[in-house]
Structure 1
């Protein structure tokens, strides 16, 4: 495949507005690129209306290497902050600008082109490669969760996720987990001149706030790569008007976990606080969670890391840093599949994720395509030789 076609595929994928929705259009386009090849399995897996995951498998038998990328992007934000339209990919000085260029349609496109080139070359695969293109990663990894429950990640030999890692200069093997939670407080409205006739939902919510900040601060262990646990209250809403005792209030909290602490420990502590406060007169608190993810432990000495380092050295003079990620990714879901395998994250892209004027270096994208082909052949050869 020539350079022009590789870039055209990238631009076509970037041009699709899949802001937390509309992934089906991305899935349909990618699927259309594979329809003329043999020994290819193409499956769309519906999550919701207009939101299809895509699973493409090439090869006939043998160990399966998983490749993964998500098809959704975050909103572009204030359009006035963009120098070029976010969904009209534009190349300026060897960089391609557009929403998702870095996070992570650049990496997804590189995986797609890598598989297409292997098919074009009629490469003898010593196994299979399965592309898992997911919906909803930005808002909770629920596409990856669905594919995992349906068995698409069962018994993989290894998994590579093409999230951006400083233009392929880092190989990530461990990552923090995440717990997003919501606490609601129900009270009783009354005139603010006669507060004794009401129950202040905001006051009760503040009691939870104070206890949660104190109790979760006792999780003091640190990971040598990921650091410690972080806990932040990020949204608070409540009240109806200034002269009313508020009858309802809510807050959203975000916890970033490390492998030393399973998520269940945080659930237990938060729910203990809720139970304690609800025993007091006038308290009516409840807590819910949004798509929590466990931390990914990983090992810097795993075979998948060693192979990635070996292949990486063919394309870059500077050795890749073996490190961790402070953010969560789809690997947290896929690693819950049957079998035992390791995952890594390595992908093209700059440090402009979720920013205006998001961009990716074209050279990084083209090198990533070569790396993904080479890595797949090397990894599967070593797996088949076992």
Structure 2
């Protein structure tokens, strides 16, 4: 018997009302764990602490002798920003007609709730699964995918045969490939002096601008285009330096964001950037260093892969429309899970609207309920395929 519609909506409202803004995911993990408490004889519930008040949650059910399906969603949400810009309270879970409002309704507590409910319905119906479903609920996706990184390092994805991530796609698209991310910082150390005697100092900003000009020439050489994702993207987004207007600056920093493609693995980019830093440091007065923050590899894939075809088949049956394979310009937890030892593909499909990270973020209740049916049918279909 299906969980009644009112309870499905209530579960999502409960999740939205937990203020897991870039933190406090343990409260979400605790709530989800209580939903599985009645079935502890048939599920394994694991809390994997990342930091204080920040727990990943792993819930496993089914037959370990068969195929292993991973389903994943993150528990953190971004800050709601200016509350005056909201018509509906960001943590109220208010329902108006077919819309449920609140921070994270689209990105991505609706997808996470739908996956959990699909598992609960399979348990309530006592479905004999020929394989295993493993829920991987992660911390910190919005700020660096470090929950997924931790679970990957601990081996929770090593035995998977496939992975579905419930990031918002609208349930009419399935993402099979995505860009990676490299955020990096270049620090320039110079020597301060009075601006009336610049010859006595080393201008850290001048040296940083030399790097700026040469790195743009360097990146332009990576000219290969991905047929779906396009080319490599590089943008310098922050530059700061100096102490005051009449002093030669002794320090300066440049911060840049790169969006990578599968043709250029991150290690290739690191080497090119570090070689440039090394060459510049051979010049008199140059003292540059580079650091990275939360780099993510691009995720390769094929639109005709068996996992994509199965998503399309089940999606058409449940939603009554064609599911279109697409690429994504943004990174997700799949970048970290791709480092696991197993040879499996990940795809992204989940309920959502185009209001993620915006005021009055919402999810269509109809779409949310459809996604529950999709995940439930997809899991059964996947596990019944031959290993």
Q: TM-score band (shorter)? A: over 0.9
- For residue 385 of structure 2, give the secondary structure of its aligned residue in structure 1: helix
State whether structure 2 residue 9 is matched by structure 1 residue 12.
Answer: no
Give the alignment's TM-score, normalised by structure 2. Answer: 0.97
- 2:33 pairs with 28, 31, 34, which one? 31
3-state SS of the aligned residue for 1:375?
helix
- The answer to whether 1:204 aligns with 2:220 is no
Contact 2:312–2:324 at 8 Å: present in 1 too? no
Q: Deviations over 1:61-100 (max 9, x none)?
A: 2221000001111111222211122122212231111111
CA–CA separation in structure 1 for the residues paired with 2:54 and 2:266: 28
What is the CA–CA distance in structure 2 between the aligned matches of 1:193 and 1:318, rounded to whole Å? 71
Equivalent residue, structure 1, for 2:374: 371
> Quick check: 2:63–2:130 contact (8 Å CA) kept in 1?
no
Give unmatched runs, 5+ long, in structure 1. none
Structure 2 match to 1:163 = 167
Matches within 5 A, 1:1-386: 1-37=3-39, 38-61=41-64, 62-165=66-169, 167-383=170-386, 386=387
SS in 2 for 1:236: strand
Write out the 4+ residue segments of structure 1 that deviate beyond 6 Å after TM superposition: none
Aligned-CA RMSD value: 1.2
Residue aligned with 2:168, SS: coil
Unaligned runs of 5+ in 2: none
Q: Does the aligned pair in 2 maintain the 1:39–1:60 contact within 8 Å?
A: no
Moved more, 264-273 or 85-94: 85-94
Secondary structure of the structure 2 residue equivalent to 1:232: strand
Deviation for aligned residue 1:345: 0.4
- 2:107 counterpart SS class: coil
Deviation string for 1:285-308 (max 9, x for gaps)? 110111211111112122111111
- TM-score normalised by structure 1 residue count: 0.97
* Contact 2:202–2:248 (Cα < 8 Å) also in 1: yes
SS at the partner of 1:190? coil
3-state SS of 1:85 partner? coil
| 3-state secondary structure, aligned to 2:45 | strand
